[in-house]
């Protein structure tokens, strides 16, 4: 009989089982598969079995070679999946804080050549090694806070060579690091200085996308669809071309204004629409009808500080599957923390802890095309497992501002452990 290399036992296990084929929606989002006194048996990179400790021991999975971790009084979860980040960049933008506090809108800072364009300058001026070193630090922080799989968008290059370089760097980091990284091409993140929307779009469609596809550098294509950035018509052009080239689609939709972004995402068959602070009723209905995942980013709302959050409950009631992400980036969301996102999702999106957890694990895995391998604790799936030093699920969003994660298992190996 095969024996486990690792057995995590006696904890409260949330398996998130049963949602791997389709993202959970509506009431399904409340079902997190809790097992009190649960155990997870791991062999190699994968999960052998999940059940009550008694079941697992009776089945004989644990033997003399098995390393055991006692999770009594603790919460055991699948690793968090962060399906929307811009974490590859050099530099930071704390110099914009005073402007923000004085009330300057996000897009005005961009129009003055700051915002995304400031990060484009600091990133394009940095050497490969410098960008990678800074990004590794952020990835390490994400790992400590439980993120075992994440998406990363390009978009701080805005030229053919620089966008391709960013995607190559994401690939290199994916190869060397602990986490699994999902690359998204987002050349349409801003319009570089001195170019018109039309000229730059021609470059994205005519040169960038074909190269990205030919060199297999990205799985998804995303567009910042927003008035003053990329109009719905332009966004459609880019997304159509991406789809034709075999990329899956995401849309930054209705973040700062209602611009029909949700409707657009539904129309092009996007996997997800992201942000959605100002999505309309019609937009929400369109997402539900096409089963587009709403990736909600409450840390961005918190940091934009305008008391405006996505209408998560209305989306949930309409049947839109919800996922949560950090949006980690140097401007609108300078954080790497999924636990913080869970707290904000409960307090301001009014999700229950169960709904928020589903959104941060299995539904997030669906949003990056990885639901068959990660996002839940089920036999055969990859052993990406967290042990949190919290006594129950409610405690996780309730207590904030410190790291609840005690142990991170990635592909069956202990990737990080709190020493205290």
Q: Which two tokens stand for residue 217?
A: 């550098």
- Binding residue count for ligand NIG, defined by CB under 6 A: 13
Q: Does 11 bind ligand NIG (CB under 6 A)?
A: no
Question: Do the bridges between strand 405-410 and strand 413-417 make them parallel or antiparallel, or are there none, so unpaired?
Answer: antiparallel
Q: Does 254 bind Fe ion (CB under 5 A)?
A: no
Helix (H, G, I), strand (E, B) or coil at 70: strand
Q: Does 148 bind ligand NIG (CB under 6 A)?
A: no
Contact 78, 42 (CB under 8 A): no
Give the containing element (helix H, strand E) for 51. strand 46-52
Please state the separation of Cα 314 from the chain's center in Å. Answer: 21
Contact region for ligand NIG (CB under 6 A) — 143-151, 241-249, 329-337, 338-346? 329-337
Question: Judged by CB under 6 A, which of 331, 353, 397, 404 binds ligand NIG?
Answer: 331
Question: Judged by CB under 6 A, which of 38, 78, 79, 115 binds ligand NIG?
Answer: 115
CA-nearest of 418, 419, 413, 420 to 148 is 413
CA-nearest of 80, 82, 68, 63 to 39 is 68
Q: Does 116 bind ligand NIG (CB under 6 A)?
A: yes
Question: Judged by CB under 6 A, which of 252, 381, 382, 410 binds ligand NIG?
Answer: 252
Task: Convert residues 327-346 into a mask of x (bound to Fe ion by CB under 5 A) and - (unbound).
Answer: x-------------------
Q: How far is the CB of 211 from Fe ion (least distance, A)?
A: 23
Rounded alpha-carbon distances, angstroms, from residue 276 to 22, 265, 300, 308, 334? 21, 11, 11, 10, 19
Q: Which lies closer to Fe ion via its Cβ, residue 272 or residue 376?
A: 272
Q: Does 318 bind ligand NIG (CB under 6 A)?
A: no
Question: Judged by CB under 6 A, which of 300, 358, 361, 407 binds ligand NIG?
Answer: 300
Q: Which lies closer to ligand NIG via its Cβ, residue 116 or residue 318?
A: 116
Task: State the Cα angle at 182 between 241 and 385, rounded to 5°.
Answer: 150
Q: Does 332 bind ligand NIG (CB under 6 A)?
A: yes
Rounded alpha-carbon distances, angstroms, from residue 333 to 34, 109, 124, 154, 399? 31, 15, 21, 16, 20
Give dist(CA 392, CA 412) in Å, integer: 24
Give dist(CA 308, CA 348) in Å, integer: 9
Task: Convert residues 388-407 into a mask of x (bound to Fe ion by CB under 5 A) and - (unbound).
Answer: --------------------
Task: Convert residues 284-303 into a mask of x (bound to Fe ion by CB under 5 A) and - (unbound).
Answer: --------------------
Query: 95 CB contacts (<8 Å, ≥6 apart)?
Result: none
Q: Does 303 bind ligand NIG (CB under 6 A)?
A: no
Question: Judged by CB under 6 A, which of 85, 154, 329, 343 binds ligand NIG?
Answer: 329
Q: Does 135 bind ligand NIG (CB under 6 A)?
A: no
Q: Does 166 bind ligand NIG (CB under 6 A)?
A: no
Q: How far is the CB of 336 from Fe ion (least distance, A)?
A: 14
**Which positions lie near ligand NIG, rule CB under 6 A?**
86, 115-116, 119, 224, 252, 255, 300, 327, 329-332
């Amino acid at each position: 009989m095969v024996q486990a290399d690792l057995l995590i036992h006696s904890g409260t296990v949330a398996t998130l089982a049963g949602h791997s084929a389709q993202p959970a929606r509506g009431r399904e989002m409340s079902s997190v598969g809790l097992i009190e006194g649960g155990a997870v048996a791991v062999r190699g990179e994968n999960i052998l079995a999940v059940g009550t400790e008694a079941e697992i021991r009776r089945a004989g999975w644990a033997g003399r070679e098995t390393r055991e971790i006692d999770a009594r009084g603790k919460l055991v979860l699948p690793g968090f999946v962060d399906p929307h980040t811009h974490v590859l960049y050099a530099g930071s933008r704390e110099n914009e804080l005073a402007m923000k506090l004085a009330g300057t809108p996000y897009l005005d800072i961009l129009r003055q050549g700051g915002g995304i364009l400031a990060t484009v300058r600091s990133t394009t001026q940095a050497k490969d090694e410098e960008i990678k070193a800074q990004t590794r630090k952020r990835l390490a922080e994400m790992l400590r806070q439980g993120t075992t799989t994440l998406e990363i968008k390009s978009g701080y290059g805005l030229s053919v060579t620089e966008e391709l370089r960013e995607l190559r760097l994401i690939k290199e980091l994916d190869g060397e690091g602990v986490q699994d990284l999902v690359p998204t091409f987002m050349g349409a993140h801003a319009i570089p200085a001195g170019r018109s929307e039309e000229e730059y779009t021609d470059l994205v469609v005519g040169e960038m996308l074909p190269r990205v596809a030919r060199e297999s550098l990205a799985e998804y294509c995303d567009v910042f669809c927003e008035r003053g950035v990329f109009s719905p018509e332009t966004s459609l052009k880019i997304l159509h071309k991406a789809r034709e080239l075999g990329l899956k689609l995401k849309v930054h939709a209705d973040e700062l204004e209602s611009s029909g972004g949700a409707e657009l995402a539904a129309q092009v068959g996007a996997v997800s629409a992201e942000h959605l602070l100002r999505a309309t009723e019609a937009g929400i209905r369109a997402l539900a009808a096409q089963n587009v995942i709403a990736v909600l980013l409450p840390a961005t709302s918190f940091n934009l500080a305008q008391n405006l959050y996505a209408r998560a409950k209305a989306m949930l009631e309409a049947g839109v599957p919800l996922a949560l992400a950090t949006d980690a980036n140097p401007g609108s969301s300078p954080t790497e923390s999924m636990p913080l996102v869970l707290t904000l999702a409960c307090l301001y999106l009014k999700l229950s802890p169960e709904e928020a957890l589903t959104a941060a694990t299995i539904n997030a895995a669906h949003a990056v095309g990885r639901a068959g391998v990660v996002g839940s604790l089920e036999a055969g799936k990859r052993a990406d497992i967290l042990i949190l030093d919290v006594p129950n699920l409610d405690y996780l969003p309730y207590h904030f501002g410190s790291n609840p994660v005690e142990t991170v298992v990635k592909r069956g190996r202990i990737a990080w452990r709190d020493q205290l």
